[in-house]
A and B are shown apart, each in its own frame.
Chain A
Amino acid sequence: MSETYYDLMRRQGISRRSFLKFCSLTAASLGLSEAGAQQIAQAMQTKPRTPVVWLHGLECTCCTESFIRSAHPLAKDVVLSMLSLDYDDTLMAAAGHQAEEALEQTIAKYKGNYILAVEGNPPLADDGIYCIPGGRPFVDKLRHVAKDAKAIVSWGSCASWGCVQAAKPNPTRATPVHKVITDKPIIKVPGCPPIAEVMTGVVTYILTFDRLPDLDAQGRPKMFYSQRIHDKCYRRPHFDAGQFVEHFDDAGARMGYCLYKVGCKGPVTYNACSALRWNDGLSFPIQSGHGCIGCSEDAFWDKGSFYDHLTTIRPPGGLGIEGTADRIGLGAVAVAGAAIAAHAAVSAIKQARSKTRNDKVSEAEK
């Protein structure tokens, strides 16, 4: 508990010069000033390392795959120098009983002081039997480890929202972490997977400043999720100009026009892809010619085709009628129109009849 990050880095043969470089790069990736770099350096030299326990529930490990590709800071720096990753069944050397033992030791030793990172989510149906790591339901393990955690990081859309395993009809009742653990601060880092630099950035921030970053109303760190893909998209001028890709093989696609009409969810997706990009800033989906599928938003998997901008709506009750808002609306207006025409016709007939009757009455009166 007494060893600091800096001690450990020096012990691993990292020079002070490299250490300071690392601090400034990390500060830059977090959007902090030069003073921020000094703060990070200060924190890492004085604060004891905070252990992190990384649990895997119902998931595909794409979050881990993304995490280990982080360039700023390098994942190896985070894992070996910053993070005291005491338990992660994918990345740790130990396995089986040894691994579970390490977990219990961490919980006992750092009670109320460790960060719990959750990748994936617990399925709740049938007492949680659809996800059994280490011989017991994941939901039990999650509750057990979360009880003594300081804070929880929900990695990816699985832990944050539920993701594909929670898609309708969600047979295993896969449930996001914040609906199972309600008494701990939870920070959501959605995305399928989240951007590597976002993941390491969030961890670095929590560890160095010893507090959670500013969160928006939906629990995501503002520094990475406050703006939409659309707001910083380099194809935005084509959107404003009305220049759209109509098909993936047309001239507009070759010209790099806006992908709005082929289903891009950039305008409704909060993430940092268009600013940070992927694979060391190389590219991101829109740059490679495919619309954003909105993977960091809640229920993106239940919104119909990735290639339609408007959501497919399925009326409740499984009637099998599908459509967009336009088809449903136009249908409703058409039905109303037909009803009106019928009503108007009957009204006209009634009116005409009563008129003839009135005329007859008045004639009789004469």
Chain B
Amino acid sequence: MNIDRVSGQVLSGPLEPIYVYEAPVRLWHWVMMVAMLVLAATGYLIGSPPPSIGGEATFSYFFAWIRMIHFIAAMIFAVAFLVRIYWAFVGNHSSRAIFLPPVWSGRWWRGLFNQVAYYLFLKKEPDLWVGHNPLAQLAMFAMYTLGTLFIIVTGLALYAQQWGWGTWPMNVMGWVFVLFGDPQEVRTWHHLAMWYLLLFAVIHVYMVFREDIMSGESVIGTMTNGIRMWKRAPKP
């Protein structure tokens, strides 16, 4: 089986199953998914709190729990992302894909245009790829990787506020407020970043199911057992 090493394009057969997503990558993927759902739900509630609760404040810690769940999920989210960055250094070819689209590869660019043409129904069959196809890779990088980085940085800055200026969390994260001008602006951008990631999630889920059904590769199963299966040979 002949594979282009830079872009991961399958050039010619015979096709055999390949181990693509290593265990840490798969684990990270599903941890991310759960954390994202929890974060989006609690984050939305922090922006638009549920109806007010009656009684004495002493006996309720309702809104604080929502925030605490958000913070805990956020820490897991951030740590999972850090571990994932580490794995990009020590893992296989596919572990680097979402951090570093090979924009220097001509084959990758041709693949990108072919993929766009395929989704616009201008091309009958897509090229075969070991990891992500170039369009998916670009979307992962621009939406998931950059979006996640942005939401983690703004989130940690907002989290640091509870200690105030002159404490170490603010010494580390205070530059974010200088950059944006004021904390309300940071909140708004953090909030918009949530929608950016949800937008990614919606497109991602659709594409995954569509590719699993219509493309020449296994997709959903690959993120479960790590192995890429093939349904047909690449076109010459």
Contact = CB atoms under 8 A, between A and B. Distances in A.
Q: Is A bound to B? A: yes
A333 B44 CA distance: 15
A77 interface: no
A225 interface: yes
Interface stretch (A31-39, A117-125, A341-349): A341-349
B166 interface: yes
Interface stretch (A65-73, A178-186, A199-207, A291-299): A291-299
Interface stretch (A9-17, A78-86, A210-218, A276-284): A210-218
Contacts of B187: 268, 311
Interface residues of B, number: 52
B183 A241 contact: no
Interface residues on A, range: 35 or more
Contacts of B198: 329, 333
Contact of A228 (B59, B164, B178, B191): B164
B199 interface: yes
A99 interface: no
Question: Most A CB atoms within 10 A — which of B64, B181, B188?
Answer: B188
Contacts of B213: 351
A155 to B, nearest CB: 19
B52 A310 contact: no
A326 B165 contact: no
B47 A310 contact: yes
B82 interface: no
Contacts of A347: 121, 210, 214
B194 to A, nearest CB: 7
B14 interface: no
Interface string B102-130: 00000000000000000101001000000
Question: Helix, strand, loop or mixed for chain A's interface?
Answer: helix
B30 interface: no
A220 B49 CA distance: 31
Contacts of B62: 241-242
A269 B164 CA distance: 11
B202 interface: yes
Contacts of A222: 165-166
A249 interface: no
Contact of A313 (B58, B183, B188): B188
B69 to A, nearest CB: 13
Nearest to A312: B188
Interface string A211-238: 0001011101010011110010000011
A332 B183 contact: no
A165 B110 CA distance: 53
Contacts of A216: 165-166, 170, 174
B63 A239 contact: yes
A313 B181 CA distance: 16
B57 A238 contact: yes
Given A239-B64, A270-B164, A344-B206, 12 more contacts: A216-B165, A216-B174, A222-B165, A222-B166, A242-B60, A242-B66, A246-B52, A261-B52, A326-B191, A326-B195, A343-B119, A351-B213
20 contacts: A216-B165, A217-B165, A217-B177, A218-B177, A225-B165, A227-B165, A228-B161, A231-B164, A242-B66, A245-B52, A260-B49, A267-B183, A268-B183, A310-B47, A311-B184, A325-B192, A325-B195, A333-B199, A343-B210, A351-B214
Interface of B: 44, 47-55, 57-64, 66, 119, 121, 124, 161-162, 164-166, 170, 174-175, 177-178, 181-185, 187-188, 191-192, 194-196, 198-199, 202-203, 206, 210, 213-214
